Amino acid sequence: MYVIYSRHHEEHRPPYQVHFGRVAPPSEVPDRVSAILHAVRTAGLGTVVEARSFPPEPIMEVHDVAYLEYLRSGISTPLTDPESRGKKLRALFPSTWPYGSAPDRRGSIMAAAGWYCFDTYTPVVEGTYRAAVGAAECALTGAELLLGGCDGAFALCRPPGHHAMRSKCGGYCYLNNAAIAACYLARGGRVAILDLDYHHGNGTQSIFYDTDQVLYVSLHADPDHAYPYFSGYPDERGEGKGLGYNLNLPLPPGTGEERYLETLAVALDRVESFGPWCLVVSLGFDTYREDPIADFRLERESFGRIAGSLAKLGLPTLFVLEGGYCLPALGELAVSFLRGWSAAAE
Ligand code: Q9C
Ligand code: ZN
């Protein structure tokens, strides 16, 4: 198993997030990836490699050019509204979102911030663009390894990706790493994405909603009480050619290992009947019982068992890191997962 990282992830340091109008400490911090890397190295698991660089085309297959330009240059564009004329921000957050019929007017940086970001959790800072490209390159490096015949790779993407849409950031995500990798892998045939993060991957769902070439299956907290609130319901099944190629399996608060593994079996049946040549797993560790922003009850050992069920599919698999915010446990959760994978894959 290759474990892939980019040193550029450290350049993305959101100073805070805004939760219900209040400033709160950031959850999505550089220590997340450092903790996992350290634990994986200490346990002597897998081969740790740095991501290689890629031309922009594979990223542009998923994301809109104007959106990419916003991520790259938004933070250095001075504000022009009367109170803040000429000011540059340390962290660019939207304060106003498109309203009414929302015609395409995003000429000012104030409008662009609302246009290209759907929540108050996902600021653009100086290093965001470089780090996000590095994360996409981690996923692409993993995808290339799979195309070359490797049967497992774990991309330590940071910032994460599954909430990012074609032209909107949100949920700590800027570029949809899993979607970018899936598009790249689609040159080898049909691809399945299995999303195991606690939160519904609204970005990934929307990117592949109308295609039958990429299957999206997700286990997540019921959006009736959990972020991202507006999507993740079971009646979202895809549209056009994509109808039947999107499967949402929401779970109640307090979901533990038994219920989780039963639902995972349903997800894996759908993946098998789709018959993909490979699998991309959006892997979040925020389903852990001690996660500070979630309410599932998986144990450390549960992650090994989940990995074991995945390995039994026998598909080349790319794991893409999404969420997981319990810093003291992240390393051991990743180690449990990787041990479970290699024990079953032998
Ligand atoms: N008090 C991922 O796991 N809600 N994104 C945060 C903080 C947004 C999660 C509430 C959660 C986004 C990749
Ligand atoms: Zn999450």
User: How far does the centroid of ligand 2 lie from the alpha carbon of residue 33, in Å?
Assistant: 15
Helix, strand, coil share (%) of the chain residues, nearest 5: 40, 15, 45
> CA 301, CA 340: separation in Å to the nearest integer?
9
For residue 123, the model assigns a pLDDT of 98
What atom of ligand 1 comes closest to residue 197's alpha carbon? 3
What pLDDT does residue 346 have?
Answer: 66
Which pairing describes strands 22-24 and 17-19: parallel, antiparallel, or unpaired?
antiparallel
For the CA of 172, the nearest atom of ligand 1: 5
Give the Cβ contact number of residue 250 at 10 Å: 19
Q: What is the pLDDT along the chain (346 residues), one digit of tens a residue?
A: 999 999 999 999 999 999 999 999 999 999 999 999 999 999 999 899 999 999 999 999 999 999 999 999 999 999 999 999 988 899 999 999 999 877 788 889 999 999 999 999 999 999 999 999 999 999 999 999 999 999 999 999 999 999 999 999 999 999 999 999 999 999 999 999 999 999 999 999 999 999 999 999 999 999 999 999 999 999 999 999 999 999 999 999 999 999 999 999 999 999 999 999 999 999 999 999 999 999 999 999 999 999 999 999 999 999 999 999 999 999 999 999 999 999 997 6
Please state, in angstroms and rounded to a whole number, the distance separating the CA atoms of residues 147 and 187.
Answer: 9
Atom 5, ligand 1: which residue's CA is nearest?
171
Cα separation, 292 vs 164, in Å, equals 22
Given ligand 1 and candidates 119, 122, 199, 220, which is best to mutate, with the most ligand atoms within 8 Å of its CB?
Answer: 199
The predicted structure's pLDDT at residue 113: 97
Gap between the Cα atoms of 280 and 192, Å rounded: 6
Known catalytic membership, residue 163 = yes
Ligand 1 atom having least distance to the Cα of 173 = 13
Q: What global pTM score does this model have?
A: 0.98
